[in-house]
């Protein structure tokens, strides 16, 4: 699964991995991500390379709860959870309180229904990791004031293209 260089990168990014038990911690976490969440084996390397701290999280206390949160509160369909987690593994490490705040802000600022939030997250999972309180108002103002998009259309534009929220546009 991982070559020597990959392992060295993970250890450099997350040195605490050296203290984790392969049998009690690493193998069960990888099996959970692969077998229960459904992350394809080929995507695990990239996921763990980007967010190796996932390996140190409690399987029952944190990881299962975060995956359930994505399904139950964010509304990500079970079949889409593997893709969401593979694209934005940091969602498994991010505090739920911040995720909830970002969901509320997306709903309010972009006038999204729960299904609309779910759709936006499936398209661009990292939108929930953005600093939305600092990002959304200036971005909406840019589209309205600089580009000339009416406010309701600007919100709709961002809802349809959530990757714009994380872009370098003002």
Q: HEC states along the chain?
A: CCCHHHHHHHHHHCHHHHHCCHHHHHHHHHHHHHHHHCCCHHHHHHHHHHCHHHHHCCHHHHHHHHHHHHHHCCCCCHHHHHHHHHHCHHHHCCCHHHHHHHHHHHHHHCCCCHHHHHHHHHHCHHHHHCCHHHHHHHHHHHHHHHCCCCHHHHHHHHHHCHHHHHCCCC
In whole angstroms, give the CA distance from residue 91 to residue 130. 11
**Percent of the chain predicted with pLDDT > 90:** 75
| Digit-coded pLDDT (tens) for 1-47 | 566 566 677 778 878 888 888 899 989 999 999 999 999 988 998 89
Residues 113-132 have a mean pLDDT of 95
pLDDT at 20: 81
pLDDT at 169: 80
pLDDT at 6: 63
């Amino acid at each position: 699964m991982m070559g020597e260089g990959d392992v060295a990168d993970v250890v450099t990014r997350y040195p605490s991995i050296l203290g984790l038990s392969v049998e009690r911690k690493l193998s069960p976490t990888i099996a959970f991500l692969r077998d229960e969440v459904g992350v394809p084996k080929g995507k695990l390397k990239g996921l763990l390379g980007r967010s190796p701290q996932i390996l140190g999280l409690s399987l029952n206390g944190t990881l299962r709860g975060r995956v359930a949160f994505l399904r139950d509160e964010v509304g990500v369909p079970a079949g889409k959870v593997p893709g969401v987690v593979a694209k934005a593994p940091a969602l498994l490490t991010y505090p739920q309180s911040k995720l909830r705040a970002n969901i509320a802000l997306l709903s309010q600022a972009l006038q999204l229904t729960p299904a609309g939030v779910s759709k936006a997250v499936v398209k661009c999972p990292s939108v929930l990791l953005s600093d939305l309180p600092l990002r959304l108002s200036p971005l909406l103002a840019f589209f309205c004031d600089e580009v000339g998009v009416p406010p309701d259309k600007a919100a709709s534009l961002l809802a349809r293209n959530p990757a714009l929220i994380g872009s370098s546009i003002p």
